[in-house]
Amino acid sequence: MTPTSSQPAAAGTGSAAAPSTPAAARIRTASAPAGVGSLGGIGLVLTGTVSVQFGSAVAALLFPRAGALGVVALRVTIAAVLLWAVCRPRLRGHSRTDWAVAGAFGLALGGMNLLFYQAIDRMALGPAVTLEVLGPLLLSVVAARRAVSLVWAGLAIVGVFLLGQDGLGRLNPAGAAFALGAGAMWAAYIVFNSRAGARFPRLDGLAVAMAVAALVSLPVGVASAGARLLQPEVLGLGAVVALLSSGVPYALELLALRRLPAATFAVLMSLAPALAALAGFLVLGQALSALQCLAIALVVAASAGAVWTGRARRG
């Protein structure tokens, strides 16, 4: 998954036009200015998505040693420590609303990680991300301002289901439920990530949110894995997972959401199943079928179409 300058004006972008639904109004309020944003923003999203999917594949290798909950605790806690050391966020001068947004961002972040790692502990990486990405895709449909945006989102959904078709019939029900729950948290993460980026300078909002996520996940991970979390090999791999899956992609996504509208960001997230399948193939030895390759092509086409539409609108 994956996230440059502070952009407070983004928080009120959607107020000029009357939204069709209350949900759309809330999403538009958190969106960046209309249009697809710069190519730099798109690059940030893609880089973050590649990083988080390969980080998830490495995390799956660590499950036998620390368990899914233990890996989440390591990932989020190490990422939080690194972010605070690098960003040194300023804690003064923020309103109660600012802290509420950062807290909601952190809860969404922690919930997304806990649920997703429970999912990939029970099912393959590709199908898990296939189900999870339905959350951002639903967000893109709700936030879309043009009918053609629904076409690209629909094409992406077709690709998502084709990508998981080979395995969806054999899914662990609990794993599927966890993946869908992670998708809902992912959609909330996108909204609150954007709002935190508008209210906090630099990466301060992300650092605060990551600390909240660590407070949520660390007790659960310690209760599950205990002293195994302190083994040198586990700590080392946990640091790698934290950088690939949390520190790098979340920072890039926060920066990207200052350049991109939430709808475009959400559709670009449809690339996640394709990249997860690639990571599963390269790291975990999960082969790609012809149907999955076709699905990847559909998802890439949908993302490219969304970007093209946004650029045409700006022109």
Q: What is the pLDDT of residue 167?
A: 55
Q: Which tens digits make up the pLDDT trace of 190-233? A: 889 889 888 888 788 889 999 999 999 999 999 998 889 889 98
Model confidence, pTM? 0.72
Q: What is the pLDDT of residue 259?
A: 81
Answer yes or no: is pLDDT of 98 > 60: yes
Q: What percent of the chain has pLDDT over 70?
A: 77
Query: Would you state the structure tokens that stand for residue 198, as one six-digit string?
Result: 């508008």
Answer yes or no: is pLDDT of 57 > 50: yes
Entry field: residues in the chain: 315
Compute the C-alpha angle 38/252/180, nearest 5°. 105
CB 244 within 8 A of CB 62: no
Query: Would you state the structure tokens that stand for residue 70, as one six-digit string?
Result: 């233990």
What lies within 8 Å, CB to CB, of 260 at 6+ separation is: 32, 36, 37, 41, 42, 45, 268
The more confident residue out of 174 and 280 is: 174
CB 256 within 8 A of CB 3: yes
Answer yes or no: is pLDDT of 5 > 70: no
CB 210 within 8 A of CB 250: yes
